[in-house]
Structure 1
Amino acid sequence: MKDPRDHPTVDDLVARSRRLGADPTTTNYGGGNTSAKGTSTDPVDGEDVEVMWVKGSGGDLGTLTREGLSTLVLDRVNGLKQVYEGPEHEDEMHELLDLCTLGAGAAPSIDTSMHALLPTAHVDHLHPDSIIALAAAADGEELTKRCFGDEVAWTPWRRPGFELARRMEELLRANPDLKGVVMGGHGLTTWGETNEACEQRSWELIRRAQAFLDEQGDPEPLGSVRAGFEPLPADERHRRAAALAPVIRGLASTDQPVVGHWNDDPLVLDFIARQETPRVVPLGTSCPDHFIRTKVRPLLLDLPTDAPLEQQIERLRELHREYREEYAAYYRRHADEGSPPMRGADPAIVLVPGVGMFSFGGDSPTARIAGEFYVNAINVIRGAESVSTYDPVPEAEKFRVEYWWLEEKKLRRRPAPKPLTGRVALVTGGGSGIGRATARRLAAEGAVVAIADLDGAAARDVADELGARDHAIAVEADVADETSVQAAVDEAVTRFGGVDLVVNNAGLSLSKSLFDTDVDDWDRQHDVMARGSFLVSRAAARVMAAQGDGGDIVYIASKNGVVAGPNNVAYGSAKASQAHQVRLLAAELGEHRIRVNGINPDGVVQGSGIFAGGWGAKRAEVYGVKEEELGQFYAGRTLLQQEVLPEHVAAAVFALVGGDLHQTTGLLVPVDSGLAQAFLR
């Protein structure tokens, strides 16, 4: 059967959508819709049928593909008008859209009816900052008239759905020369008879609105900068963000684990510093896409930038308690017997003077995107205040969207989160061998990963593989250096909001007899493994304690910490130190619910940086085998007769941290295919 999306009109629609979605000030991530109408073949009877292709639910204009489109038979959608019984039944119309589709495709979005009922070949519905600034102003209708004259109509706020679609259809039929409609508190809808005409009209109206704001608006709409609230210098800002992020993330994770994202863009810092910010922030955001992502309002710290850190932390805790109480009251004010359960009372956006914005979500992309939405909101607030007064959608209407059962249904369609979703991992020596395999496994199970390695290029390769924009970062770090370790942990904290899971994997080895081992050999191995693990664990444990939600520290030790092998005094002693650190830290950190466990692998030859760096040749020489046969030699002395691979060690790490062993700490797990000499007694 031919896919109805395999059509030249679709190719043009996708290209137009991507151009419009490329700029977040034109439409936010996941927001807006574009559509095109044309003729396709009904696969049942082979007859031509008029259809509409429209961006489906949950898709994003900037990255749209044909798979993200819904295809609907126009006559069927228009036929819904015959069974429509009024606004109280409009959600039923959305459910019936599934019966109007042709072939496979994305689920229809809530704006689908509007695109279908408008009698034009192409329609764009966007959320431009400049337009929403007019739409969210107290006198938005008058401003729209001043900006566009009679070329663009105004329609008051109404929640998206079939009733709004009918009103838009009536507006255009009554005024066929209209170029578009500004929708109160919501956005812009435009149209055209060709793909090019529709897109050009969208750009024209967006630019005209921005020019109107630039020419007519107050350049400082939120007043002057408050004394004492100016942005901190970059280095100090980074240090304060690293200190505050774990605390804020811990608060934001009260109901469920979240990942964080820090934004110190000058626009954000300036907004937080202004005189009128304490007035406008509690008003929340306006566009429905905004407040679904950012919650009803942010949390704003009300202390100056020079307030002591401990004072800021204590005040954040007070404000968080108040926020949760207010959010619960908001829910109670508007919920009825049909409302979904409250989803959580923690803020998604926290604004800290001089430092920036911390945004949170169940995973890293969601956290980043929430922050991007609030940047859109800042632009809207500034624009509205520059020409009028910011007057967003009323609270009751925000609740009707946030707890809309159609929105709840969309959330329930999401796949179950992976076991490590919402957790931040730091893997040392992550650029190769066991570290690389571990980073891959943790990322595959839902964690975001900071890959720390002395070889920065190797760490970047792994981060790029895992998805460097949202899912991983590379940190060039020397674990033997205290300053470097702290910088690596701070990098993870400022990027993802904290650290929950540390894998002490960085290592090196020299194979020498006691007589041939000099002090430098001894110091070098103990500096990296014994000292390095201590430094990483200490820095990370401080973050975990600040978060207040426990955590995991895993040591990649070795069976050499137990087995007395030949020509191995420095390496074996360093590994024994790591093994005992597991026990010591498990005993000390239990009060913070931080679990500390370790893994004792046998020799992991394949993919190992250590073995490739000369250790393999030396060990092969000790055992009298060829270097290329070393893996088989190790396997041959085990009970299972199997070689240990990096992936086996990574699997053991996941077993310890994946959720089934929450009550386990102080354990050393052998991953050695059964090496009797290494049995723990």
Structure 2
Amino acid sequence: MSSRHTSGLLQSQWNEPHAATMDEPGRLLYRSNLLGADKRITNYGGGNTSAKVMTADPLSGDEVEVLWVKGSGGDVGTMALDGFATLYQSKLNALKDLYRGEAHEDEMVAYLPHCTFNLNTRAASIDTPLHAYVPKTHVDHMHPDAIIAIAAAADSQKLTQSIFGDDIGWLPWKRPGYELGLWLEKFCLENPKARGVILGSHGLFTWADSAAECYAVTLDIINKAIVWLDEQTADSAAFGGSECQVLSAEERQSVASKLMPEIRGLISTDEYKIGHFDDSDTVLEFVCSKQLTSLAALGTSCPDHFLRTKIRPLIVGFDAHKPDIENTKEQLPQAIESYRQEYAAYYDRCKHADSPAMRDPNAVVYLIPGVGMITFAKDKATARISGEFYTNAINVMRGSSAVSTYQGLPEQEAFDIEYWLLEEAKLQRMPKPKSLAGRIALVTGGAGGIGSATAERFLREGACVVLADIDKELLEQSCAHLSERYGSDVVRQVLMDVTSETQVADAFSKTANQYGGIDILVSNAGIATSAAVEDTSLALWNKNMDVLSTGYFLVSRESFRLMRRQNMGGAVVFIASKNALAASPGASAYCTAKAAEVHLARCLALEGAGAGIRVNVVNPDAVLQGSKIWSGDWLKQRADAYGKDSSDLQAHYRERSLLKRDVLPEDIAEASYFLASDASLKSTGNIINVDAGNVQSFTR
């Protein structure tokens, strides 16, 4: 493992004056966050930390020993104090009298809630006994790539002794649980001078009597492993050297954007999937290597890696020497079906009488020679994190195969982790997916009032959203606002002029590259002009037609192309106008272009029905708040057309409506959500007027 991958030694970030201001739980949290902030130490959600703290019992007032340990779920790098479970150490010790042996260790999890201190609602994890029975005040359990490279080697015990001597011990693979907790206790009692232990195929445990010392020990042990691996592999070619060339960055992005919708369509028959593409140097070195096929087939070793990435990845049949994307796409259905069949065979070979039913048999990780790695999951964060975990696995395979023989988890052990009844129970407790979970939406005019309100409505329901707009500054502001509220994983932006065929095609390609495809298009980009017909120039007429007619055609055409490639159906929503149905004085160009939008939607509803692509229209009227078109001359022009002052126009529109109500961007967003969601699954070619009632625009 060369220094270009380990990025040098870990540097201590501990600030003792700062730590001195904290109590013991505060220092535990401080240590946890520092460790979790560096992915070389542990991956997202992986590992755990603990401290045994003397605390006053809320009932008796007596000083009692309380175990603070990272609770079930969560991430040590980002957790807060409420992420720790707290348990009476005396009660945890008493559990030993109830333990009936390894065959019954899973039942011990049910006893953990009885050990809860101070009514803490944070559930204790399966790793709790591993911390409770180590006779040290502070304990870290991390998954560093450099350590797991040693843990996953065929001669792991020998390497551990050679590198660390008696400072760090070694225990063979054992599934996390109560029995492993007792193993750790026994090791510590028999090796009182040891500062930690490597668990075969798993990770690292370290301990000390203070938070600062425990943090220092963890970094010291990992750094020793990094230095040793660097020395051993300095002159060797990783993974046996290169087998194929690395395509250019532009070519890699292009291949990914072409393959991701194809894969997504093939694996999303039961639930929508979101994709993530990674072409980092670490990934490229592996997918271009001579040992790609042999190492990938072995699967991962660390349980955390395995749970995120499945039994093994799927290697996509792409020839980087002679790229033929169409040939690769033709091979994908059979390759994916073969993976499913192999996964089902693995399930049948390893299942027990009480095993949960087989889960999704599709691969999570797709490796493309010369191009990179694609991961698919139920949401963007999970897809991204799965990619990060497989990158960790690549680092492990690089180091382990360079100094020894890499070995993944035995198949039965891997199955028993994946289909662990305790893991199944955790999955069953997961909240029901939101209505747009796994959906990908592109919203044109996304920086404006209606566009951003629609994006926010979709995000609330679990969708990933790409905002497209021509206004760079406003686009960045809208994207930043939504990212802050919903997270950066689910929001992307693309600068796009809907009248540019090239920019439109590029925007959809970027959407596919970022998320894997598209399910929803909201065509909302617009302008508004007002002039008597005799004062309407050809340029003004053409501008309306270019943006409001041609622009809607271009984004719809690209959307249809992408949706048909996925073969998953889809929803297209046009944001038209009351003026598409009702004439308005002094706006012939605008009204005609809006009428064209509506008729285009009807035509597309006919064309898309066979592919399950629904096309519907929302007709707003007088949405002044947050709208870009009302911030320019249009406001004054429409006020002049009705003989009103600009400040009176909102009241004029409200009073002329049948319901006497203002129409807001959120009202248009709600109608768009309805038409994009499965609530309107049997509706296409329809128009919803959101205008507070205007008899002239009643559909006939």
User: Which residue in the other structure is 1:178 paired with?
Assistant: 194
CA drift at 1:632: 2.0
CA drift at 1:392: 1.2
Choose which of 302, 305, 310 in structure 2 pairs with 1:287.
302
Choose which of 367, 371, 386 in structure 1 pairs with 2:387.
371
Q: Describe the SS at the equivalent of 2:374.
A: strand
CA drift at 1:200: 0.5
User: Is the contact between residue 574 and residue 601 of structure 2 (CA under 8 Å) also seen in structure 1?
Assistant: yes
Q: 2:74 corresponds to which letter in structure 1?
A: G
- CA shift digits 1:293-318 (9 cap, x unpaired): 11111100133122311111122221
CA drift at 1:145: 1.1
Choose which of 398, 401, 404 in structure 1 pairs with 2:414.
398
Choose which of 223, 226, 247 in structure 1 pairs with 2:240.
223
Q: Find the aligned partners of 1:566 and 1:63 in 2 and give their Cα distance.
A: 58
Choose which of 533, 546, 560 in structure 2 pairs with 1:527.
546
User: Which residue in the other structure is 1:150 paired with?
Assistant: 166
User: Is the contact between residue 605 and residue 630 of structure 1 (CA under 8 Å) also seen in structure 2?
Assistant: no
User: Is the contact between residue 447 and residue 471 of structure 2 (CA under 8 Å) also seen in structure 1?
Assistant: yes
- CA shift digits 1:492-538 (9 cap, x unpaired): 11111111111000001111110111011111111111111111111
Q: Find the aligned partners of 1:45 and 1:664 in 2 and give their Cα distance.
A: 65
Q: Are 1:630 and 2:649 counterparts?
A: yes
Q: Are 1:89 and 2:104 counterparts?
A: yes
Q: Find the aligned partners of 1:319 and 1:30 in 2 and give their Cα distance.
A: 31
Deviates more, 1:233-242 or 1:302-311: 302-311
User: Is the contact between residue 275 and residue 514 of structure 2 (CA under 8 Å) also seen in structure 1?
Assistant: yes
- CA shift digits 1:618-637 (9 cap, x unpaired): 11111122222222211211
- CA shift digits 1:446-468 (9 cap, x unpaired): 00100011112222222222226
User: Which residue in the other structure is 1:77 paired with?
Assistant: 92
Q: Find the aligned partners of 1:624 and 1:73 in 2 and give their Cα distance.
A: 77
CA drift at 1:240: 1.5
Q: Are 1:677 and 2:696 counterparts?
A: yes
User: Which residue in the other structure is 2:526 paired with?
Assistant: 507
- CA shift digits 1:577-633 (9 cap, x unpaired): 110111111111112211111101111111111111221111111112222222221
Choose which of 214, 217, 233 in structure 1 pairs with 2:230.
214
Structure 2, unaligned runs of 5 or more: 1-20
User: Is the contact between residue 69 and residue 105 of structure 1 (CA under 8 Å) also seen in structure 2?
Assistant: no
Q: Find the aligned partners of 1:355 and 1:625 in 2 and give their Cα distance.
A: 61
Q: Are 1:246 and 2:261 counterparts?
A: yes
Aligned 1:549-568 pairs, distance under 5 A: 549-568=568-587
Aligned 1:253-652 pairs, distance under 5 A: 253-305=268-320, 306-467=322-483, 469-652=488-671
User: Is the contact between residue 525 and residue 574 of structure 1 (CA under 8 Å) also seen in structure 2?
Assistant: yes
CA drift at 1:353: 1.4
Q: Find the aligned partners of 2:481 and 2:129 in 1 and give their Cα distance.
A: 40
Deviates more, 1:465-474 or 1:150-159: 465-474
Q: 1:483 corresponds to which letter in structure 2?
A: T
Q: Are 1:161 and 2:166 counterparts?
A: no
Q: 2:240 corresponds to which letter in structure 1?
A: G
User: Which residue in the other structure is 1:107 paired with?
Assistant: 123
User: Is the contact between residue 364 and residue 377 of structure 2 (CA under 8 Å) also seen in structure 1?
Assistant: yes
User: Which residue in the other structure is 1:3 paired with?
Assistant: none
Q: Describe the SS at the equivalent of 2:160.
A: helix
CA drift at 1:333: 1.3
Deviates more, 1:490-499 or 1:453-462: 453-462
Q: Find the aligned partners of 2:264 and 2:93 in 1 and give their Cα distance.
A: 48
Q: Find the aligned partners of 1:338 and 1:18 in 2 and give their Cα distance.
A: 38
Q: Find the aligned partners of 2:268 and 2:205 in 1 and give their Cα distance.
A: 37
Q: Are 1:34 and 2:49 counterparts?
A: yes
User: Is the contact between residue 10 and residue 66 of structure 1 (CA under 8 Å) also seen in structure 2?
Assistant: yes
CA drift at 1:399: 0.8
Q: Find the aligned partners of 1:628 and 1:282 in 2 and give their Cα distance.
A: 69
User: Is the contact between residue 318 and residue 324 of structure 2 (CA under 8 Å) also seen in structure 1?
Assistant: no
Q: Describe the SS at the equivalent of 2:77.
A: helix
Q: Find the aligned partners of 1:641 and 1:469 in 2 and give their Cα distance.
A: 39
Q: Are 1:44 and 2:59 counterparts?
A: yes
CA drift at 1:195: 0.4
Q: Find the aligned partners of 1:221 and 1:238 in 2 and give their Cα distance.
A: 24
User: Which residue in the other structure is 1:236 paired with?
Assistant: 251
User: Is the contact between residue 255 and residue 345 of structure 1 (CA under 8 Å) also seen in structure 2?
Assistant: no
User: Is the contact between residue 25 and residue 53 of structure 2 (CA under 8 Å) also seen in structure 1?
Assistant: no
User: Which residue in the other structure is 2:38 paired with?
Assistant: 23
Structure 1, unaligned runs of 5 or more: 1-5
Q: Describe the SS at the equivalent of 1:470.
A: helix
User: Is the contact between residue 68 and residue 105 of structure 1 (CA under 8 Å) also seen in structure 2?
Assistant: no
CA drift at 1:7: 7.4
Q: 2:583 corresponds to which letter in structure 1?
A: A
Q: 1:203 corresponds to which letter in structure 2?
A: L
Q: Describe the SS at the equivalent of 2:689.
A: strand
User: Is the contact between residue 287 and residue 371 of structure 2 (CA under 8 Å) also seen in structure 1?
Assistant: no
CA drift at 1:653: 0.7
Report the count of equivalent residues: 674
Q: Find the aligned partners of 2:694 and 2:96 in 1 and give their Cα distance.
A: 74
User: Is the contact between residue 339 and residue 405 of structure 1 (CA under 8 Å) also seen in structure 2?
Assistant: yes
Q: Find the aligned partners of 2:359 and 2:643 in 1 and give their Cα distance.
A: 63
Q: 1:23 corresponds to which letter in structure 2?
A: D
- CA shift digits 1:173-232 (9 cap, x unpaired): 000001111001110000000101101110011111111111123632411211xx3111
- CA shift digits 1:62-121 (9 cap, x unpaired): 101101111111001111111100011111111211111113242111111110111100
CA drift at 1:559: 1.0
Q: Are 1:66 and 2:81 counterparts?
A: yes
- CA shift digits 1:124-171 (9 cap, x unpaired): 000000111111111111111111111111111111000000000000
Q: 1:121 corresponds to which letter in structure 2?
A: T
Q: Describe the SS at the equivalent of 1:624.
A: coil
Q: Find the aligned partners of 2:677 and 2:392 in 1 and give their Cα distance.
A: 37
Q: Find the aligned partners of 1:438 and 1:592 in 2 and give their Cα distance.
A: 25
Q: Describe the SS at the equivalent of 2:466.
A: strand
Q: Find the aligned partners of 1:664 and 1:248 in 2 and give their Cα distance.
A: 28
Q: Find the aligned partners of 1:302 and 1:487 in 2 and give their Cα distance.
A: 25
TM-score (norm 2): 0.95
Q: Find the aligned partners of 1:25 and 1:442 in 2 and give their Cα distance.
A: 35
TM-score (norm 1): 0.97
Q: Find the aligned partners of 2:644 and 2:93 in 1 and give their Cα distance.
A: 79
User: Which residue in the other structure is 2:673 paired with?
Assistant: 654
Q: Displaced runs of 4+ in structure 1, greater than 6 A?
A: none
User: Is the contact between residue 600 and residue 672 of structure 1 (CA under 8 Å) also seen in structure 2?
Assistant: yes
